Amino acid sequence: MKIIKRSGQEVAYDISKIIAAVRKANNSVVDAEKMTDRQIDVIADNMIRQCEKMNRSLSVEEIQDMVENEIMNQRAFTVARSYITYRYRRALVRKANSTDEQILSLLECSNEEVKQENSNKNPTVNSVQRDYMAGEVSKDITKRFLLPNDIVEAHEKGIIHFHDADYFAQHMHNCCLVNLEDMLQNSTVISETMIDKPKSFSTACNIATQAIAQIASSQYGGQSISLSHLAPFVQVSREKLRKQVRLEFDRADLEMDEEKINQIAEMRVKEEINRGVQMIQYQVITLMTTNGQAPFITVFMYLDEVPEGQTRDDLAAIIEEMLNQRIKGVKNEKGVFITPAFPKLIYVLEEDNIHEDSKYWYLTQLAAKCTAKRMVPDYISEKVMLELKGDVYVCMGCRSFLTPDRFTDKNVGNLANAGNYDPKKHKYYGRFNQGVVTLNLVDVACTSGGDKEKFWNIMDERLALCHRALMCRHERLKGTPSDVAPILWQNGALARLKKGETIDKLLYDGYSTISLGYAGLCECTRYMTGRSHTDPTATPFALEVMERLNAACKKWKEESNIDFSLYGTPLESTTYKFAKALQKRFGVITGVTDKNYITNSYHVHVTEEINAFDKLKFEAQFQALSPGGAISYVEVPNMQDNLEAVLTVMQYIYENIMYAELNTKCDYCQKCGYTGEIQIITDKHGKLVWECPNCGNRDQDKMNVARRTCGYIGTQFWNQGRTQEIKERVLHL
């Protein structure tokens, strides 16, 4: 097996080093207090057994904690004190300059934890390394100067997770819905260059991609755009192309035939839509932001977002092309078409496209084909979302939803000075999320020891801690001048504020949200009730937990006029961090802490046998109680030859749940050309690795794997905890 050093580097487990450390502590005490050689051998044997039982790479700190316990089990308390004192002195030395080793290991690409932190960042690329280096410095400043000690301590113990601490030192927010309509219709500025209203659809697409890259470099979360904001420019191109065709007829001295002119113009419109959509797809994938990755971009496809008639038909044509190009995929370095991570696509199921006799049913069939091959789009039910939120609007790609617009109803006015503001319409584009702090529900349960009264008391204490941490995020954004990110705050993406004006008014009245995340409801319920939260006798407890979390958000909102909202956290690397912290604090508890991951948000445990329809129906009640963000998924096999089943699931989503997705597999082995599902196996060191089932290739650099793990599709592999979770997923269909 292997261990992870403090620098993040993964090395072979060497029991001789542990024995040497124990002997050193043993030799430092008087003879009467020393352990025998036999006792030291027992410690070594116990350590080997414990480490193998954990089924993952342990950190140096975890190993040392085990050593302390083993010495005390031998009742050699003086030796234990010597060992603990040595650890403490070494910790003080390291703390004097805590970031050096981390940064050096980043540069040498030997930091296993960082390499697996983000499944859409390649840690060997200079720009990613630069971002990670800056992140290490930012985290160090954040922990030492910017956050209260108890919040830092709770974060490091895995009691809460203070998200994106590597960006906290800067005045940056999380994610947003881009007001692309305002930028395109009323001009914008990109890199101090005025960009006028585009004169064609393809130009609008080009401007959109340039804006996307700039926005991604000005915040740390994802962004969402709507194709409805591009649709009006199809008509602009149509009119322009009709003029061109007429001119060509005139120059060729041909008889003016309006029908033929329009027919030729429509052919060229279709070609331009093709070029524009291709530009979005390829530029988004190939653009690299300042943090060394493609922009985390979500594209919204909602027919009813534009008026019925030509504009809606044009939007349908754009959606059709977007789906067709995504089905095709993009070429990898071998020239083979594979599944790209971005842009993420969201398709709204509505009355105009959900039934076989619906006008746009053909688009839904195409969406099903795309899902079966490329894992996207995800699906929002217009019917259910209207019931839950009263409006239909896009979420951020990670699943974060804004609260329904209330500042318009309060007649607060055009807070953002948007050029497309309409007091008669609810506003969503131009709004954003201030940040996230996640509560580890499993830790609350385990700390309570199963006592429900104690559980609720601890819950209240932890919620108070989360509230203070969230207010740290809010206060960090207060006073931020619009000049820090002109494209966001001055040039229309989020607002059109004056130079030097602060963004403070956008932090209140519901314009932006701030998210209380939660994780591990499944394991929390199992610990407190002895049953899965899908068990009818345990479900009421799980629902009560959700109601308590919502009540806290409501109370904070009333006190501050800040829109706190409950968010089903899509843990990526943090699922492993929480699991390790729980094992360290409470040991291995069957069904609770015995995995190297904990379950995202309210989800049914990945190992639980349940069919797709029951899973969606069950989780729908929790989506209703997770207004700040929620998504449900069903794990399915290769469905490319069974599109009827995909369509059946989509129709079920429309009737029963607000937001859902289907997880399929379409991997590629660059060594042998295999396409299908790359498997996860356990190697001789007990580590989970990816292996081609056809040729046995285990080189991650020579395979293309795509899995959905946190809302977005990841393509750069994952840590051991998340990899175990992926391996253990059961099929729901």
What does the pLDDT look like over 334-385, one tens digit per residue?
A: 888 888 888 999 999 999 999 999 999 999 999 999 999 999 999 999 999 9
Backbone angles phi, psi at 519, to 5 degrees: -150, 145
Contact 279, 325 (CB under 8 A): no
H helix and E strand count, the chain: 24, 25
Mean pLDDT calculated for residue range 600-627? 97
C-alpha 643/C-alpha 634 separation (Å) is 15
Q: Is the pLDDT of residue 112 over 90?
A: no
> Going by C-beta distance under 8 Å and a sequence separation of 6 or more, which residues neighbour residue 427?
405, 407, 408, 418, 421
Q: Is 400 a catalytic residue?
A: yes
Mean pLDDT calculated for residue range 561-567? 97
In this prediction, residue 446 carries a pLDDT of 98
Contact 415, 407 (CB under 8 A): yes
Contact 517, 546 (CB under 8 A): no
Which residues on adjacent β-strands are paired with residue 565?
A: 515
In this prediction, residue 365 carries a pLDDT of 98
Out of 112, 382, 572, 635, the active site residue is: 572
pTM of the model as a whole: 0.86
Spell out a b/e string for 156-190, using b for 16 or more CB atoms within 10 Å of the CB, else e.
eebbbbbbbbbbbbebbbbbbbbbbbbbbbebbeb
Q: Is the pLDDT of residue 34 over 70?
A: yes
C-alpha 189/C-alpha 181 separation (Å) is 14
Q: Is 359 helix (H, G, I), strand (E, B) or coil?
A: coil
In this prediction, residue 52 carries a pLDDT of 79
Query: Before 423, cis peptide (omega within 30)?
Result: no
Q: Is 266 a catalytic residue?
A: no
Q: Is the pLDDT of residue 462 over 80?
A: yes
Lowest-confidence range among 4-13, 312-321, 452-461? Answer: 4-13
N residues, the chain: 733
> How do residues 631-671 score in pLDDT, each as one tens digit?
999 999 989 999 999 999 999 999 999 999 999 988 899 99
In this prediction, residue 93 carries a pLDDT of 58
**Helix ranges restricted to H, 449-573:** 452-477, 486-489, 521-529, 539-560
Q: Which of 99, 49, 104 is nearest to 73 (CA)?
A: 49
Q: Is 711 a catalytic residue?
A: yes
Domain boundaries, the chain: 176-389
> How do residues 404-440 score in pLDDT, each as one tens digit?
998 877 778 899 999 999 998 999 999 999 999 999 9
Q: Is 396 a catalytic residue?
A: yes
Out of 51, 183, 396, 703, the active site residue is: 396
Backbone angles phi, psi at 704, to 5 degrees: -115, 110
Backbone angles phi, psi at 257, to 5 degrees: -120, 100
Mean pLDDT calculated for residue range 684-694? 91
Q: Is the pLDDT of residue 45 over 70?
A: yes
In this prediction, residue 232 carries a pLDDT of 98
User: What separation, in Å, do the N-terminal and C-terminal C-alpha atoms of the chain show?
Assistant: 36
Out of 175, 301, 703, 710, the active site residue is: 175
Contact 683, 718 (CB under 8 A): no
Number of CB atoms found within 10 A of residue 599's CB: 25
Out of 347, 379, 511, 567, the active site residue is: 567
> How do residues 134-184 score in pLDDT, each as one tens digit?
677 778 888 888 999 999 999 999 999 999 998 898 899 999 999 999 999
Spell out a b/e string for 385-409, using b for 16 or more CB atoms within 10 Å of the CB, else e.
beebbeebbbbbbbbbbbbbbebbe
192: left (phi over 0), alpha (psi -120 to 50) or beta: left
> Going by C-beta distance under 8 Å and a sequence separation of 6 or more, which residues neighbour residue 642?
372
Q: Quick one: what percent of the chain has pLDDT higher than 70?
A: 92
C-alpha 513/C-alpha 543 separation (Å) is 23
> Going by C-beta distance under 8 Å and a sequence separation of 6 or more, which residues neighbour residue 343?
280, 281, 284, 297, 298, 299
Out of 711, 712, 714, 721, the active site residue is: 711
In this prediction, residue 111 carries a pLDDT of 54
How far is C-alpha 358 from the geometric centre of its chain's CA atoms? 33
Out of 400, 448, 601, 632, the active site residue is: 400
Residue type, 308: E
C-alpha 99/C-alpha 87 separation (Å) is 18
The residue that leads in pLDDT, 436 or 713, is 436
Q: Is the pLDDT of residue 191 over 90?
A: no
How far is C-alpha 591 from the geometric centre of its chain's CA atoms? 25
Which of the four pLDDT bands, split at 50, 70 and 90, describes residue 579? very high
Mean pLDDT calculated for residue range 25-45? 90
* Residue matched to tokens 């239909």: 392
Out of 174, 218, 228, 704, the active site residue is: 174
The residue that leads in pLDDT, 619 or 79, is 619
Instruction: Output the CATH code of domain 176-389.
Output: 3.20.70.20
Backbone angles phi, psi at 710, to 5 degrees: -150, 35
732: which 2 tokens?
């729901």
Q: Is 567 a catalytic residue?
A: yes
Out of 228, 237, 433, 565, the active site residue is: 433
| Most confident option among 3-17, 91-105, 518-532 | 518-532
Angle at 458 between CA 453 and CA 461, to 5 degrees: 135
Spell out a b/e string for 329-368, using b for 16 or more CB atoms within 10 Å of the CB, else e.
bbeeeeeebbbbbbbbbbbbbbebbbeeeeebeebbbbbb
Contact 139, 166 (CB under 8 A): yes
C-alpha 94/C-alpha 88 separation (Å) is 10
Which of the four pLDDT bands, split at 50, 70 and 90, describes residue 109? low
Residue type, 349: L
Q: Is 433 a catalytic residue?
A: yes
In this prediction, residue 62 carries a pLDDT of 83
Backbone angles phi, psi at 580, to 5 degrees: -65, -40
Out of 35, 51, 398, 710, the active site residue is: 398
In this prediction, residue 122 carries a pLDDT of 60
In this prediction, residue 108 carries a pLDDT of 56
Which residues on adjacent β-strands are paired with residue 330?
A: 338
In this prediction, residue 101 carries a pLDDT of 60
* Residue matched to tokens 């046998």: 609
Tell me what the pLDDT averaged over the chain comes to.
Answer: 90
Q: Which of 540, 476, 627, 504 is nearest to 172 (CA)?
A: 476
1: which 2 tokens?
């097996």
Query: Before 377, cis peptide (omega within 30)?
Result: yes
Mean pLDDT calculated for residue range 465-480? 97
The residue that leads in pLDDT, 216 or 470, is 470
Which of the four pLDDT bands, split at 50, 70 and 90, describes residue 464? very high
Q: Is 572 a catalytic residue?
A: yes
